[in-house]
Amino acid sequence: MDVEILAEIYVQNRSIEINRQLVTALLAEQQYAEALNYANDLPEAYVASDFQLIYLDLLLHEAEFILAREFINLLDNSKGLIERIEQAELSYRVDFPESIKKISRDFYHLSEYPLNEQADRLKHALRLPLADFLVGAKFVLIDPFGSQVTRTNILDHLRRVELAEMVTSLWFDQTEHQFKPVELPDLFEQPVRLAVRKEISLLNDPVMERSLEQINQYIMINLYPFAADVILDVPKWVQGLLANLLGDDDQFDLKSQSDIRRAILGTLDNLA
């Protein structure tokens, strides 16, 4: 079937089957970047053994080495796939040394850019071979001028590639901590985060819930991976969040919770 027709169908029906057909059609026309864009829209379509190599080879063709490693760690059986990635990294290092230098240089200097631009440059850094990515990541994690949002994103990528070696990172209060990323919790599935989300849902006010969720997500990113050590009383935490949102006094919250939350919310003015 024609690519344009499949693309139109996919807009109306974002199913796994249509996604696979569209990606396969784009591959036949050697539209690799576009094929990867659609595959990234529904990566779960490629976890099944018959389709794993389609997605993996697309990632490697577009030099998405970190995402490729994250992908194979989701699979039940990734035997032989890590060697495929390592060979692709080796070839890229030989063929594109200047690209690695430029991407690495931009990665090292992330803190010199606004947060939205940091996100774009970090996305480019995911195209580095793991060894090169790790060199840059270790530097950015201890850069005192860096953003905690960026540090958390880097730690999360290192967790997803299941890095077992110790790394040092600053927390939002500039204290240093050491972690084995493979042992870190999933940023979005931490029990305390889920408990806060459930408590927020009890408000039965969809507009207010969305606003509180957005604020809480920003705070959770800054607290990572110590949210459970900070949020000791979930109902009072949500009461405090609500007070902060409405511009009221959060006097009924625990002082320890309130102080840290207000310190993090104070950084919102520096995000531009």
The residue ranges of every structural domain in the chain are 3-95, 97-183, 191-270
User: In the chain, where does DSSP find H-type helix?
Assistant: 3-12, 16-28, 32-41, 52-61, 65-72, 81-95, 97-108, 115-125, 130-141, 148-160, 191-201, 206-223, 227-230, 234-246, 255-265
Question: Given pLDDT bands bounded at 50, 70 and 90, which one contains residue 269?
Answer: low
In whole angstroms, what is the distance from residue 272 CA to residue 265 CA?
A: 14
> What's the pLDDT score for residue 31?
95
> What's the pLDDT score for residue 109?
95
Place of tokens 């659609």: 38
In whole angstroms, what is the distance from residue 60 CA to residue 176 CA?
A: 34
Question: Given pLDDT bands bounded at 50, 70 and 90, which one contains residue 105?
Answer: very high
Q: Which CATH architecture has domain 3-95?
A: Alpha Horseshoe (1.25)
> What's the pLDDT score for residue 271?
60
**Global confidence as pTM:** 0.92
> What's the pLDDT score for residue 15?
94
More confident residue, 247 or 131: 131
- Torsion angle, alpha carbons of 10, 12, 13, 19, to 10: 10
Confidence check: pLDDT of 270 > 70: no
